Amino acid sequence: MELSRKLEVIALTTTGTQAVDRAAALVAMVVHADEPISFTELAAESGLARSTTSRLLSALERNQLLERDGGGSFRSGPLFALYAARHDPWAEVVRLAQPELQRLGDAVRESVYLTIPRGRSSTVQLAQVDASYVLGARDWRGIEVPPHCTAAGKVLYAYGCLDLPDGDGPDQLLPRLTARSIGSRRELVDALAEVPRRGYATTDQELEVGLCAVAAPVRGRDAGVVAAVGAHGPSARMSPHLDQVGQLLVDSAEKISALLLRRTRKEGAA
């Protein structure tokens, strides 16, 4: 190979390796940050040109390694929450819980799901069994929603798995997705006080008009809450039966909790 061609190959190889190193550094900065980090901060901290930073971040978004929050700042992407589970105990927990989720789905005939915290401020739905009805709730796996608008989110807030929204006081406003959504931190705290007493949380058209949900806590090691099992469906069907469904969920949550506890004792997992 002539010298000019060898130099060209070396240059291309170096450029490619450098791009990978830079992209990896951006991912590391975002993952290690305590909160979502802005484009301006990433460009400044990495020392990269804004055009290079933008190009790399776009590629990382396309490949689901990073994603943006509602304010445009960057945080770890769906791959970390959804596919990392293949290499940790939750993948096995989902497999073990699936028969109970299916039994619960057969009983309530609505969509049922298993949700865990993602960090200290959001949740991720790991599994879902679809409703028996033709008209049922959508599949929410991989879709981020404000936890205070969901039954599973309320459960995880109530048991300390999620941090309450930061703010200057109890009247801090929260995003309202419908007219029935909880609108302030004070309202959220009041609603959460009911969850341990009842054993489950409910939402009635707080996430989406026409959608109801119920969720109960799933416990793991040392009886601490680690997840929520829930059911959601059209309010026309579910709203009159929220308490009945709640009791079924409490029963299913106890059975899934037993699976987690048994697996923890055997394998040191969960």
Q: Are residues 54 and 156 in the same domain?
A: no
For the entire predicted model, the pTM comes to 0.64
Q: Where a domain ends, among 35, 51, 76?
A: 76
Q: Are residues 56 and 169 in the same domain?
A: no
Using the 3D structure, point to which of 76, 107, 140 is the last residue of a domain. 76
Q: What is the pLDDT along the chain (270 residues), one digit of tens a residue?
A: 554 454 344 344 446 688 888 888 998 898 888 788 999 999 999 999 999 899 999 999 888 888 888 889 998 887 765 555 455 567 777 887 899 999 999 999 999 999 999 888 889 888 888 888 766 555 666 677 889 999 999 999 999 999 988 755 667 789 899 999 999 999 999 999 999 999 999 999 999 999 999 999 999 877 889 999 999 999 999 989 999 999 999 999 999 998 877 654 444 444
Shared domain check, 206 and 109: yes
- Phi then psi for residue 177, to 5 deg, are -85, -25
Domain that holds residue 167: 82-267
- For the chain, how many structural domains are there in total? 2
Whether residues 208 and 244 share a domain: the answer is: yes
Kindly state whether residues 96 and 209 are assigned to the same domain: yes
CA angle 262, 263, 268 (to 5 degrees): 120
